[in-house]
Structure 1
Amino acid sequence: RTWWVDQRLSWDPADYGNITTTLYLAEALNTPEESEIWLPDMQPYNTMEGTIRTLEPAAARGDSAGRIFWSRPGILDVMCKFSGLVAFPYDRLKCTVEFGGWSMSDGFQ
């Protein structure tokens, strides 16, 4: 789930029958030509497979202030480095998932 503000998608509800929300076609990054709006290039850096294969396409919800909310159902398989395992099966394990822009990152490609 993510959200952002795109002022280009704002409107005055009084001009459109007091409609305050709408849905936009928002496809995955592998088919940007099918999206009606700009989508952030956000990927987990330590994933086993890219989100193109693991997250389903989903519509984005926008409101009259230009706030966009986009949530895609799916499962992320991430690679984790675990150390210790000294109290199995009572260990408390932690896995950090790093998200960022793949095409605009420094050194992660």
Structure 2
Amino acid sequence: MNPYAFLAIAIISEVFGSSMLKVSNGFRRFFPSIGVVIGMGLAFYCLSISLITIPLGTAYAIWSGIGTALTALVGVIIYKESFNLKKFLGLALIIGGVIILKLAAGYSQ
């Protein structure tokens, strides 16, 4: 399986686990708490598999950057959190940074 597929699974799993943190009520609710453990466990497992091939800095930048952006979008769409110009600019800078790091990694290989 492609290492970037494992990285994508890691990102989606981490976003799921982070989203479950919101509804776990400080780990007081059983099923959302199980969702956190499963999501984060799968995220770190898949991230570790992707690191066999993808350089650490590149993989972590993509994982954390896209994960942050998607988690913020989940907050806005599902949890009705506010979205303003500053949040948009911050997310755009994160995504831009991930793209630049990916391009830089492509030139060094």
Instruction: Give TM-score, length-normalised by structure 1.
Output: 0.22
Q: Which has the larger radius of gyration?
A: 1
More helix by share: 2
Instruction: Give TM-score, length-normalised by structure 2.
Output: 0.22
Q: Which protein, 1 or 2, shows the higher relative CO under an 8 Å CA cutoff with sep ≥ 6?
A: 1
More strand by share: 1
